[in-house]
Amino acid sequence: MDDTPSRIPAAVTDLRAAARDAGFTMSCEERTGSLLAVLAATRPAGRILELGTGVGEGAAWLLSGMSPAARLVSVELDSAVQGIARAELGADPRVTFVGGDGGAWLEEYDGEPFDLVFADTWPGKFTHLDRALDLVASGGTYLIDDLDPQPGWPEGHEASVVGLLAELEGRKDFRTVRLAWASGLLMAVRAVS
């Protein structure tokens, strides 16, 4: 079976071109994007958090799956790359772009939990993990990608990934599944207690 997504949202196509022009190479790959869209579609009035907007490709996939009542918050440190996302997607009333450090945002946020958290940067994944998991609603999903070793990984990063997987899989309050697919994903769902 060829698992290349057959439907690419128009905004993703636009953002790919913008990413190329900006030299941004960290966008999620399209199979991950298609999973984001499906997960977003499972939450008709869902509250969704993305940590690390990049140029907005992940956000565009999420928005393509979201219902009109669903809401997305996307946090990014680099205002220039997030500016590309704001220009393409900012008119959509379902998305709120937050500029700033994801770790500080996680520490300060005191609103409702989220039904889907796509933790796609350091905070919420390699730092502030407990805080990000605290923000996952009962029955909600935490998703991370980029878990398969890459040639450009910094020294020690593979060990950090191994530690992260062990920590997530050791949590009694989440059910987890590894997906050896796309860039290597792990999905964790908070068990309803």
Ligand X SMILES: C[S@@+](CC[C@H](N)C(=O)[O-])C[C@H]1O[C@@H](n2cnc3c(N)ncnc32)[C@H](O)[C@@H]1O
Instruction: Give the interface with ligand X as residue ranges (CB under 6 A).
Output: 26-28, 50, 52, 54, 57-58, 75-78, 81, 101-103, 120-123
Q: 174 pairs with which residues across the strands?
A: 190
Tokens of 104: 């500080």
Instruction: Give 3 or 107: the residue with its C-beta nearer to ligand X.
Output: 107
CB of 34 to ligand X, least distance (A): 12
Instruction: Give 115 or 120: the residue with its C-beta nearer to ligand X.
Output: 120
Instruction: Give 108 or 193: the residue with its C-beta nearer to ligand X.
Output: 108
CB of 175 to ligand X, least distance (A): 24
Phi-psi region of 146 (alpha: psi -120 to 50; beta: other; left: phi over 0): left
Tokens of 121: 């940067």
Strand, coil or helix: what is 19?
Answer: helix
Tokens 């994903």 appear where? 185
CB of 58 to ligand X, least distance (A): 2
CB of 191 to ligand X, least distance (A): 26
Cα three-residue angle 65-66-67, rounded to 5 degrees: 125
Instruction: Give 4 or 193: the residue with its C-beta nearer to ligand X.
Output: 4
CB of 192 to ligand X, least distance (A): 27
In angstroms, the Cα distances linking 95 to 69, 84, 100 are: 11, 14, 16
Instruction: Give 9 or 102: the residue with its C-beta nearer to ligand X.
Output: 102
Q: What is d(CA 50, CA 76) in angstroms, rounded to the nearest whole number?
A: 9
